Structure 1
């Protein structure tokens, strides 16, 4: 797998990452969602440099202009619910993409420190020979990313696969690296050192879904 850690080079991305991490700033859920959306735009822009392009003749009011335009058939799939703001940011740049949504959550049986990933809801177009962008803001253990990709397989084999995350733990990055083919790309804004005993990224930012949409009831 090809890993693209965007934080290895300083950019305005650092500002948005710092704000979604900050305890004070992240209390504003609207600003949190907007920052996640802007990070999605940046990751989408970086990813777009690797797509396929074909020259097209454009007629302007004053003449003709040749410009290279992407000709990828893109399907953008996000993991609910935390993935919605990230999905919106990517969709701002890939506005002709088809869209897929999938639910994946941690199910704790008896031990609060152990869990399995449950996939329930899935809506997806045909993926055969298309470019799949699979987005999940937090790459903690990596199990959700792998489980959702497995759930998408009945919809066809994509020509290209791009994974998009904002913050990952090194353990999660290593996990997906061993579970995806060599031609898959991971685009990630930054990578943190470790997970705590409950599988949350340290220092991370907390629960992205709760910060974006409010606390959920636990069952």
Structure 2
């Protein structure tokens, strides 16, 4: 595996340092933050991260008529965006992204991490058709070991996806390096590149298990 990376050494890594993003992330990290507040903050921060992740969507021109005159104006080009939630925690980012892009097509990839091997196990995959013709935004709050994320991108590429962006709330250097090694063409957009993984494969300082905190299952 390559060395842990940084935005300077990996042009495919984007850190969103907007003050609102960093403020909301701090609230989410706090152990005392309630499940309801965590869920609401995740929805809010996903809008801000999505704005950056979708910055390079292709545009074309169309002719419209304003109340004043006819003009040539930009609109999104090609087929509609596909948004793929990596279950279950990816669903926490999904609603915010759909507020940004309400006509996007939605897919789901079900993976869980074997706690002994830290390897991903697939249990579900249902994604939009013709992914080859669509920009694809994959959602998962945590890029930790990178194994599940890489496996999800593997599946999306098997389904034909070519233009894939990966949106996460937090990333560990190990996960970024793993994704860069396996899929250097995939742009990662995140609110924070944290310090490291602990012995159990959790991001440190992190915020705990995003799914558990979102759904109140611990």
The TM-score with structure 1 as length reference comes to 0.87
Give the SS at the match of 1:12. helix
Match of 1:98 in 2: 105
Give the SS at the match of 2:132. coil
**How far is the alpha carbon of 1:58 from its aligned partner?**
3.0
| 2:197 corresponds to which of 195, 215, 219 | 195
Q: Is 1:204 equivalent to 2:212 in the alignment? A: no
Match of 1:6 in 2: 16
Q: Does the CA-based 8 Å contact 2:64-2:70 persist in structure 1?
A: yes
User: Which runs of no fewer than 5 residues in structure 2 stay unpaired?
Assistant: 1-10
| 2:152 corresponds to which of 140, 148, 154 | 148
Q: Is 1:118 equivalent to 2:121 in the alignment? A: yes
Match of 1:169 in 2: 172
Separation in structure 1 between the aligned mates of residue 63 and residue 136 of structure 2, nearest angstrom = 27
Change (3 A) 1:45 1:107: same
Change (3 A) 1:32 1:188: same
Match of 1:82 in 2: 89
Give the SS at the match of 2:53. helix
Match of 2:7 in 1: none
Q: Which moved more, 1:58-67 or 1:166-175?
A: 58-67
Q: Is 1:20 equivalent to 2:28 in the alignment? A: yes
Q: Does the CA-based 8 Å contact 1:51-1:72 persist in structure 2?
A: no
Separation in structure 2 between the aligned mates of residue 150 and residue 160 of structure 1, nearest angstrom = 13
Q: Does the CA-based 8 Å contact 2:12-2:186 persist in structure 1?
A: yes
Match of 2:37 in 1: 31
The TM-score with structure 2 as length reference comes to 0.88
Match of 2:3 in 1: none
**How far is the alpha carbon of 1:210 from its aligned partner?**
0.7
Separation in structure 1 between the aligned mates of residue 112 and residue 99 of structure 2, nearest angstrom = 26
Residue correspondences, number: 206
Separation in structure 1 between the aligned mates of residue 141 and residue 197 of structure 2, nearest angstrom = 15
**How far is the alpha carbon of 1:61 from its aligned partner?**
4.3
Match of 2:135 in 1: 131
